[in-house]
A = this chain, B = another copy of it.
Amino acid sequence: MDVAEGGRDLLFVESLERGMRLLAAFRGTTDSLGLTELAAATGLTKSAAQRFAHTWERMGYLEKDARSRRFRLGIRVLELGFFFLRGHPLAGRAMPHLLAVRERLGVAVNLSLRDGADIVYAVREPDQRLTLAEMLPGRRMPAFCTSAGRALLAHCGDDELDAVLAAPGRIRYTPHTETDAQALRREIETVRRQGFAIARDQVLIGQIGVAAAVPDFGRQPAAAVNMTMTTDQWGEARIVRELVPQLMAVTEAISRG
């Protein structure tokens, strides 16, 4: 469909976008939000915030505390994510394999999907003692600094890779986080050659990850499997020796179905 250059998109329903903007305000905080705060956070007028918050509440996507008159996300927002994962062709197939790996090797395993310059963890098998955020599906991370992200970027077309690398403002999670586009491109080249990606101290000091894409019969892979370990127990040599073969076997197996 033609999104006329410059002219506005005739099929785009702005009310929907504004409504979602209000819900999205809850990404920024774990707190409840009042109407005025919502208006401020979204750039909507107070009237618009009032209408949308009211509508979301009536539909069950927001909950309103009767005393404080403040809003929170409602349980219902879990629903669509559930159906997304349940219907995802790879998630269901991957689960038993991930579980087996976690049992056998005692490392955390994830199935990750790419969304532009981010990856999203879809199916997770954490290895204990993690925080809630680290075990929930839906968590987003920049692709460039995670092993799964790099494994997936390695399978992009060059133009798409360029676009991701050209984007400014990469976060330095640690002093070792590589943010230089040239260096990242070389890293991706290496991943292309060897077929797996390793990311050490990129998000958290003392954490190392290894990942490989789930092949999809010549098409661009839709997902990657990654394992995450601590550097005190796992050096790169040992990972390549002991984990990479297992990793490749798992991605292979998931791909076959």
Contacts and interface: CB of A to CB of B under 8 A. Distances in A.
A82 B19 contact: no
Given A11-B50, A51-B11, A83 B27 contact: yes
A139 B96 CA distance: 19
Contact of A75 (B27, B115, B136): B115
A77 B84 CA distance: 7
Given A81-B78, A137-B82, A13 B9 contact: no
Residue of A11, A16, A17 with highest tally of chain B CB at under 10 A: A16
A43 interface: no
Interface stretch (A127-135, A146-154, A190-198, A208-216): A127-135
Contacts of A140: 79, 82
Consensus secondary structure, chain A interface: helix
Interface in A96-147: 96, 99, 113, 115, 120, 122-123, 128-129, 131-133, 135-140
A96 B12 CA distance: 44
A54 B14 CA distance: 11
Interface stretch (A56-64, A170-178, A232-240): A56-64
A199 interface: no
Interface in A48-72: 50-52, 54-56, 58-61, 72
Nearest to A87: B30
Interface of A: 1, 9, 11-13, 15-17, 19-20, 23-24, 26-27, 29-31, 50-52, 54-56, 58-61, 72-87, 91-92, 95-96, 99, 113, 115, 120, 122-123, 128-129, 131-133, 135-140
Given A75-B120, A77-B81, A132-B85, A59 B1 contact: no
A15 B20 CA distance: 12
Contact of A29 (B87, B128, B136): B87
Given A79-B81, A85-B136, 19 more contacts: A15-B15, A16-B19, A16-B55, A17-B55, A23-B80, A24-B80, A26-B84, A30-B87, A72-B87, A73-B80, A75-B113, A75-B120, A75-B122, A78-B85, A79-B120, A81-B137, A81-B138, A95-B132, A123-B132
